[in-house]
Amino acid sequence: MGVDLAVKIGKLKLKNPVMVSSGTFGCGQQYEELVDLKELGAIVTKTITLQKREGNKPPRIAETYAGMLNAIGLENEGLNYFCETTLKYLNSLKTPSIISVAGKDENDYCKLVKELDKLKVKAVELNISCPNVKSKKKYMFSQDAQATYKLVSRVRKLTKTTLIVKLSPNVTDIKEIAKAAEDAGAEAVSLVNTFLGIAIDVNSRKPKLGNITGGLSGPAIKPLALRMVYEAASVLKIPIIGQGGIMSPEDGLEFIIAGATAISIGTANFIEPQSAILIKNGIEKYLVKNKIKNIKLLRGTIKIS
């Protein structure tokens, strides 16, 4: 039996629901000898900013039980470099790409989106949830429903491209923030970015990360991320791209059953570059075995009696 894995995120059509997460897959090029990129549902690029950023002082990564802490600090070459080089590469691929952007204030986000709109990119993900950069605000946009609404509304007016908003798990009520993004015109939300954490070297008594705190990712966060996807799905009409510790087809299926339309693979790429494809193949097998013709029929089917 053939099964249909295709899903839609806003206007973006994906041939399967398994994408790779921002910051864990470069812009695809770095993985092309290891992974058949056309098998991926989509590639979410490393977040780009208006100006080049050097990132945080090292060390930027610390291993933890069942996960990792990172405080990269959005190191990237900046918008101009991206548009002149990386975007050409991404446009040459058969797999759609989603361009992740971050700014220090609303104006930055607007400038980034305006420029990308001129270049007719297929989709933009507003990263309003990076825990590792200092901005003018004391908190992230995604930690405040009103700030999320105001930013997304402003950006929405500047582009017709598919607009995805990536949210932070470091909040009390994810439903409130996700709804603010939807009400402001987001066509999908990505859930979740990393959880703020810290690790200390007991010999030196210094933090293991140069930035002191970092973002926790990997299997350690899966039940937390899954709970947030489940909660957000109870209030949203727009699609959710679920992520956080997905390592296996079963993990991915849990997110879809909880209400995600698509899933994204992050930390797993560092362990096994083929993770996304293996997960996609496993999901396909599950659908065949359970005689489910279309992935959409599985979405949000969690049984609560």
Contact positions vs ligand FMN (CB under 6 A): 21-24, 46-47, 68, 70, 72, 74, 100, 127, 130, 166, 193-194, 217-218, 221, 243-246, 265-268
Shortest spacing between CB 65 and ligand FMN, in angstroms: 14
**Closest distance between ligand FMN and the C-beta of residue 102, in Å?**
7
Which of 4, 213 has the CB closer to ligand FMN?
Answer: 213
Minimum CB separation from ligand FMN for residue 47, in Å?
A: 4
- Closest CB to ligand FMN among 121 and 293? 121
Closest CA to 56 of 219, 207, 220: 207
- Encode 106-143: b = buried (16+ Cβ within 10 Å), e = exposed: eebbbebbebbeeeebbbbbbbbbbbbbeeeeeebbbb
> Angle 106-118/145-156 helices, nearest 10 degrees?
30
Nearest distance, CB of residue 132 and ligand FMN, angstroms: 8
| CB of residue 305 to ligand FMN, shortest distance in Å | 30
Q: Which is nearer to ligand FMN, 12 or 27 (CB)?
A: 27
Active site residues: 130
Q: Which is nearer to ligand FMN, 209 or 236 (CB)?
A: 209
Q: Tell me how far apart the alpha carbons of residues 92 and 86 are, in angstroms, rounded to a whole number.
A: 10
The residue to which tokens 């039940």 are assigned: 223
Distance CA 26, CA 69 (A): 18
Pairing of strands 188-191, 162-166: parallel
Please identify the residue of the shown chain whose CB is closest to the bound ligand FMN: 23
The Cα–Cα gap between 121 and 181 comes to: 21
Closer to ligand FMN at the Cβ: 95 or 267? 267
Name the minimum Å distance from CB 4 to ligand FMN: 25
Helices (H), 201-297: 222-233, 249-258, 268-271, 275-289
- Per DSSP bridges, beta strands 200-201 and 240-243 are unpaired
**Cα separation, 234 vs 189, whole angstroms:** 13
| Site of tokens 């990997």 | 218
Q: Which is nearer to ligand FMN, 161 or 264 (CB)?
A: 264
For residue 131, cis peptide bond before it (omega within 30 degrees of 0)? no
